Amino acid sequence: MKKIAIVLAIAASMGASSVYAGFGSLSKMASSLSESVTGVSSSNMDINGFFTQAKATNAMFTQSRTALASLLASKQDSDELKAKQKSLKTTSDPKEQEAIQKQIVALSNTVLEASQKDKEATVAKLSALNAEQKKHLLDSATNFVIASLTARELAVGAKQVSMSLMANPKSLINTGMSLVDAKGVVGDITGIAKNSTMALVEYPKLFKKAGIEFKMPTSSSDKPKVLSDI
């Protein structure tokens, strides 16, 4: 539990706006948080610890998916993702940040869904990546897998956390979250866990077909990568 206390202090000092600071800084935030708390069973975790890890996991998952999407997207969509990323860095308004983040997530989802439908085109695009892009791809995929593995672990205790919140909503006081926000975070984590096949199975298969060697993480406690803009 000492690790969780340290992470909570880090999270408090960083502030909510750090979540929307762009791919690179978001990766650092997600890496520092999840690296400190991964491997901790959610069934033995206090409410603060659960939500600290859940938010970091969700941030890493979203950021790594978007990084993958930027590499697999058409030039137009890739440019749009990069433009929205820059917008996140230049605005300090929380509502505007949230709106832009939702747009990024929606576009990333569209790109990744399309990449799964036309796998031959995706393999061709992967094969054509240069060395720098392949490194970015593998770093992104690494974080994508770690976030998915962590979400699976957290999902085991998600129901217990939800029941605890319903019985005692005041347990959220130290998290700074409302009950609605907390339910949203729990929903995000269970959703990631249920849809982890893309990270754990589908993309590794495509990498292999494209001749890209990917050493897939096997544990949520594996060290995440720090992603830079590309």
Q: What is the amino acid identity at position 146? A: I
Residue 198 · residue 116 · CB < 8 Å: yes
* Residues 88, 212: Cα–Cα separation, whole Å: 31
Percent pLDDT > 90 in the chain is 57
Answer yes or no: is 229 within a domain. no
> Which DSSP state fits 137?
H
Mean pLDDT value of segment 86-106: 90
Max CA distance (Å), the chain: 54
Answer yes or no: is 214 within a domain. no
Answer yes or no: is 220 within a domain. no
Mean pLDDT value of segment 165-170: 86
Answer yes or no: is 118 within a domain. yes
Answer yes or no: is 170 within a domain. yes
* Residues 48, 205: Cα–Cα separation, whole Å: 37
State pLDDT tens for residues 103-146.
999 999 999 999 999 999 999 999 999 999 999 999 999 999 99
Answer yes or no: is 96 within a domain. yes
* Residues 69, 104: Cα–Cα separation, whole Å: 10
**Structural domain boundaries enclosing 97:** 2-209
Answer yes or no: is 222 within a domain. no
- Count up the domains in the chain and report the number: 1
Instruction: Provide the mean pLDDT of the chain.
Output: 82
C-alpha closest to that of 99 among 14, 177, 185, 20 = 20
Instruction: Provide the pLDDT confidence category of residue 10 given band limits of 50, 70 and 90.
Output: very low
Q: Is the pLDDT of residue 6 over 50?
A: no
C-alpha closest to that of 165 among 189, 185, 138, 191 = 185
Residue 115 · residue 72 · CB < 8 Å: yes
